[in-house]
Amino acid sequence: MRNNEGRTQIPPELLDQFMKQQEEKFMASQPPQAPMPQASPTGYQIPTDFVELPSQGLFYPQSHPWHNKEKVEVRFMTTREEDILSSQAYAQAGVMFDKLIESVTVDRVSSTSLLPGDRNAILINARKNSYGEEYEFVTNCQNCLKELECSVNLGELGFVEVDVNKITENNTVSVELPVSKKQVEFKIMTAAEINDATKAVEKQAKLGIETNETFELHRRMIVSIDGDRQLSTIVSFSQNMLLKDSRFLKSQYSKFSPDVDFTYEQECESCGHKNKGGVPVGANFFWSSE
């Protein structure tokens, strides 16, 4: 027999640690797996759907999960989402739709990091899959002010057309202002950035300071002025922007903002006026008509 005395023995705990490290290295070398549909405790697979994004994934930075994504996977709503929609706390805090979007999207993303148009597409899909495509709401005739009952097929809503050929490699848009002739580069703001602008205006009002909502929006959406990306330059220019330039910039921002086309037409039975407006998406959007 061979004499094993004097040989170095590897302690079991070190051997286990070595094997674990090797396993971690192997797993790290494997390609990432596609997300699996969420399963309930009983093993039931919650069905999923794919939603086309109005933005086509443009305007998101490379670090964002939806960068250059044309479609995203979402789950059908369950009783969990129904609890979210019935939560008074979420409604009062103004985060009900945020919680809903984060609950149904397969990708782990913050709802406020999304573009408003993409958020709308997710909400419409969730509503269609859970309560049907027909959405009924009541408004008033723009002519005679009589109550007007409207019905819209959510499945027929299209997207606002955006000229993607004019989007820069930085996922921004560059335009020349009509009066100052300044070349202004701007981005499409996320829900969080729009919310920050709103809060800034509200804070100014509470402090008795003269509010300027246009300035708060401009300084957040503008990326550069004639190539100058310094914040001080952008703030100064936004504060002193000529009115005609400001209105032009607003129109260009609206033109390049990807979104669902909520436009509807409804003829008034009382006066025959053809009403045209935007489909309201409020707290009762998820009320079932049944």
pLDDT digits (tens, 9 = 90+) for 127-155: 999 888 999 988 899 999 999 888 899 99
Neighbours of 119 (CB within 10 A): 22
What are the tokens at 9? 């023995």
The CA distances from residue 30 to 13, 19, 25, 120, in Å, are: 26, 17, 9, 35
The runs of H, that is alpha helices, within 132-272 are 191-206, 213-221, 231-239, 243-255
Sequence letter at residue 223: V
pLDDT at position 284, please? 80
Element (H, E) at 52: strand 48-52
Average pLDDT of the residues in 205-223? 93
Percent of the chain scoring above 70 in pLDDT: 84
pLDDT digits (tens, 9 = 90+) for 63-80: 999 999 999 999 999 999
pLDDT of residue 55 exceeding 70, the answer is: yes
Average pLDDT of the residues in 198-221? 92
Average pLDDT of the residues in 247-269? 93
pLDDT digits (tens, 9 = 90+) for 152-176: 999 999 999 899 888 998 899 999 9
pLDDT of residue 41 exceeding 60, the answer is: no
What are the tokens at 25? 């290295």
pLDDT at position 78, please? 93
> What single DSSP character describes residue 230?
-
Cα-Cα-Cα-Cα dihedral sign, residues 272, 274, 277, 280 = positive
pLDDT at position 42, please? 54
Q: Could you give the CA distance from residue 127 to residue 133 in angstroms, rounded to a whole number?
A: 8
Cα-Cα-Cα-Cα dihedral sign, residues 67, 73, 78, 82 = positive
Chain centroid to Cα 216, Å, comes to 20
| Inter-residue contact 124 to 70 (CB < 8 Å) | no
Q: Could you give the CA distance from residue 252 to residue 184 in angstroms, rounded to a whole number?
A: 11
